[in-house]
Copies of this chain bind each other. A is one copy, B any other.
Amino acid sequence: MENINGGVTAAKGFEAASVSAGIKYQGRTDMALIYSQSPCEVAGTFTTNVVKAAPVKWDKKIVENGAHPQAIVINSGIANACTGEEGMKCCKEVAEEAAKVLGIGVESVLIGSTGVIGVQLPVEKLKNGVQLLAKQKTIGQEMGNLAAKAIMTTDTKEKEVAVTIEIDGKTVTIGGMAKGSGMIHPNMCTMLAFITTDAVISKEALQMALSSDVEETYNMISVDGDTSTNDTVLLLANKMAENKEIQKDTKEFEIFKAALHEVNTTLAKKIAGDGEGATALLEVTVKGTETKEQAKTLAKSVICSNLTKTAIAGHDANWGRILCAMGYAGVKFDPEKTDLFIQSSVGELKLVENGMALDYSEKKATEILSKSEVSIVADVKAGLEMATAWGCDLTHGYIEINADYRS
């Protein structure tokens, strides 16, 4: 596997474009198009929130019907959630417009929206945007990057990744982009992530690879504990790499899954590290549990703890809050056997052994926790399983963004 520059246009035959449609923001792009030169197999995972945005309902139907989409139209600024019949009608009209100008079927157009909830989208502006996107779409790394920028809301950085693998002598590429920032506590999948690949792969294998991997990646991040109405991961495979079709339970499937995992992990960590107001990516690994599920639950409890998150913001090795957050996770473990470590690029420090504080240097601890990527490792010494979760610190920036921003 090789990491390369690029995003959604890295794989063969994928084009992209972005435009300023004037939906909500001024002076920036707010619509993006991903277009495949040939029809794709598609896999998707969607929010488990009872309140589902209109584009989630639209895409879910397409993914489940076994259609072969060729385009994804995405807008930022307005989420098209809690918008009832009118919201669904908007999806249909935008898809129809895209189908017309791209010369494909309506069921070949997927839709993604992100932004404020409870506001109707301006359909005519979107339709005008679609026309411009269709004219401008082209291949190349730059277009992928512009698309990644257009889907941002309170994100501070665009989020892209691409890798190549070799499958029976053919180079297969997987690339993706995502947006995150707030209302990030995915359950089944994250805010918005779009992955493209030129692999030839069966629909069954594609969905299986995606569904199992989101559990370990997007579902292991949290910015603020709020599971969005719009969470969507879409994975398009346009088969242009000309490899022999990948089937499940083969060596090739494992290679593909490993590459997809790299793509998803990278995007998930970028989302966590760029959480609203975040100054640090917080990685929490829990090991020594009897089951993997226990490790996941404990790790997620720590990254969701507001008190742990504010301690990280203050570069304070307040390990009592970490142990406390593990304690209320709903998993049985022996706190009096638990060890705690902190790590970053400047070193590692053991804070707690068998539930009791060691005589560590607070100065060194603060130095470690002052970096932009910090890790906590907890070893409960009861078994051989482990899991990692990613979050971020909780700062004044989060309050500033969310006490004012109607998102």
Complex CA distance for A260 and B254, rounded to whole angstroms: 61
The residue of chain B having its C-beta at the shortest distance from the C-beta of A226 within the complex is B307
Q: Is A182 an interface residue (CB 8 A)?
A: yes
Shortest CB-to-CB span from A113 to chain B, Å, is 13
Size of interface on A: residues with Cβ below 8 Å to B = 64
The answer to whether A403 and B311 touch (CB under 8 A), given A225-B306, A306-B225, is: yes
Residues of B within 8 A of A311 (CB): 402-403
Residues of B within 8 A of A394 (CB): 399
Complex CA distance for A227 and B305, rounded to whole angstroms: 10
Q: Is A327 an interface residue (CB 8 A)?
A: yes
Complex CA distance for A208 and B310, rounded to whole angstroms: 38
Q: Which A residues, 302 to 325, have Cβ-Cβ distances below 8 Å to chain B?
A: 304-307, 310-311, 313-314, 316, 318-321, 323-325
Which of B310, B318, B327 contacts A399 (CB under 8 A)? B310
Indicate how many identical chains form the complex: 2
Q: Is the interface of A mostly helix, strand, loop or mixed?
A: loop
Contact check, A307 vs B118: say whether CB atoms are below 8 A apart: no
Residues of B within 8 A of A82 (CB): 320, 323, 335, 352, 355-357
Which of B119, B226, B318 contacts A306 (CB under 8 A)? B226
Contact check, A335 vs B399: say whether CB atoms are below 8 A apart: no
Contact check, B117 vs A324: say whether CB atoms are below 8 A apart: yes
Shortest CB-to-CB span from A214 to chain B, Å, is 16
Residues of B within 8 A of A384 (CB): none
Q: Is A49 an interface residue (CB 8 A)?
A: yes
Contact check, B310 vs A84: say whether CB atoms are below 8 A apart: no
Report 21 cross-chain contacts, Cβ distance below 8 Å, ordered by A residue: A49-B324, A50-B327, A50-B328, A50-B331, A51-B324, A81-B324, A82-B320, A83-B356, A84-B356, A118-B320, A224-B306, A225-B304, A226-B324, A226-B325, A227-B327, A228-B324, A306-B402, A310-B402, A316-B404, A395-B403, A396-B396
Q: Which residues of A are at the interface with B, using a C-beta cutoff of 8 A?
A: 48-51, 79, 81-84, 116-119, 182-183, 185, 187, 224-229, 304-307, 310-311, 313-314, 316, 318-321, 323-329, 331-333, 335-336, 352, 354-357, 394-396, 398-400, 402-404, 406-407
